[in-house]
Amino acid sequence: MMQQICIAIDGYSSTGKSTLAKQLAKHLNYIYVDTGSMYRAVTLYAIQNDFFNEEEELIVSKLLDALPSINLSFKPIANDELPTIHLNGISVEKEIRNMKVSEKVSLIAAIPKVRRKLVEQQHKMGEHKGVVMDGRDIGTVVFPNAELKLFMTATPEVRAQRRYDELIAQGEKLTYEEVLHNVQERDRIDSTREDSPLIKAEDAIEIDNSNMNLEEQFILVNKLVQDALVKGK
C-alpha cells in the first residue's frame, strides 16, 4: 500500500482552502474534512435556535447547554461527490454558506468548549492518516505532526472579491464593502482569540494565491505533496 500522509491546510478566510483540499482529496483518494464547515454548522444551529439576543449577541450558556445535542457528520450526497456536512442528520452545506452565518462563525469558533468538542472529532477523523483537512488550527493544534502543512493567504481585497462573487451568484443582496468588512473582521477575531488563534505553524509552507489561478495553485501544491510522500517513505 502506498504511504499515506496527513495534509493540514490552514489560512485566512476565502483563500480557497476548501477548494484546494477537495482537489487534493480527489486526486489522492484521501478523506476530506472541512473543519470550517463544522464551526459554520454549529453557528447555524445557534441561529436556528435563537441563541442570539436582540442585539445579536451570543447567549453562550444556551449554546454550551445544547452542545451534546449537536451532532455533526460528513456524508456524500451522491456517489461521485465528496462528503458534505450534515447537522443532526440533515445536509446543511448550502445553508452554512450565507452571510448571516459568516458574520457570526468567528464568534462561535472562539469559544473554548466548542473548539474542544470539534477538535476531538477532527482527531478521530484523521487518526489513520490519508486525510486532507482544512481550517484555522489544523497544523498548530489538530495535527501538529502532519507531514505536510500549508498556510494559505491572499490580500483582503482579493479575498473579499472572491467571496462577494460567490454570494452574488447565490442570489444574496449585499455590497462589496460589506463583504470586505466581514473578511477583515474575521481576520481580526480569528488571529486574536485566546484559544487556538489563527497563526502559521513554524514548519508550514506559506502560499499567497492572490495572483494564482486554481490550476497553477494545484500544480504547485501537488509537487509539495509528492515531495512529502517521498520523504515519508
DSSP string spanning 128-193? TS-EEEEESSIIIII-TT-SEEEEEE--HHHHHHHHHHHHHHTT----HHHHHHHHHHHHHHHHH-
Mean pLDDT of 68-83: 81
Mean pLDDT of 33-53: 95
CA atoms within 13 A on the CB side of 228: 22
Report the alpha-carbon distance of residue 171 to residue 159 in Å, rounded: 19
Residue 41 lies in a domain: no
Contacts of 155 (CB under 8 A, 6+ apart): 210
212 has a pLDDT exceeding 60: yes
Band of residue 156 on the pLDDT scale cut at 50, 70, 90: very high
pLDDT of the residue at 216? 96
Range name among 23-27, 62-66, 147-151 with the lowest pLDDT average: 23-27
Residue 138 lies in a domain: yes
220 has a pLDDT exceeding 70: yes
Indicate the DSSP class of residue 1: -
Mean pLDDT of 170-186: 93
Residue 107 lies in a domain: yes
Q: Which domain holds residue 133?
A: 7-35+98-227
Instruction: State the CATH number of the domain containing residue 167.
Output: 3.40.50.300
Report the alpha-carbon distance of residue 16 to residue 22 in Å, rounded: 10
Mean pLDDT of the chain: 92
Residue 121 lies in a domain: yes
2 has a pLDDT exceeding 70: no
pLDDT of the residue at 43? 97
Residue 171 lies in a domain: yes
Mean pLDDT of 50-66: 94
pLDDT of the residue at 128? 84
Total domains present in the chain:
1
Helix pair angle (99-109, 35-48), 10° resolution = 110
Residue 48 lies in a domain: no
pLDDT of the residue at 111? 94
Model confidence over 188-207: pLDDT tens digits?
999 998 888 899 999 999 99
Helix pair angle (17-28, 214-232), 10° resolution = 50
Contacts of 6 (CB under 8 A, 6+ apart): 126, 129, 130, 131, 133, 143, 145, 146, 147, 148
Band of residue 63 on the pLDDT scale cut at 50, 70, 90: very high
Residue 136 lies in a domain: yes
pLDDT of the residue at 196? 86
Model confidence over 96-152: pLDDT tens digits?
999 899 999 999 999 999 999 999 999 888 888 999 999 989 999 999 999 999 999
Band of residue 80 on the pLDDT scale cut at 50, 70, 90: low
pLDDT of the residue at 195? 86
Residue 92 lies in a domain: no
Put the strands of the sheet holding 84-87 in their side by side order: 72-75, 84-87, 90-91
Mean pLDDT of 40-67: 95
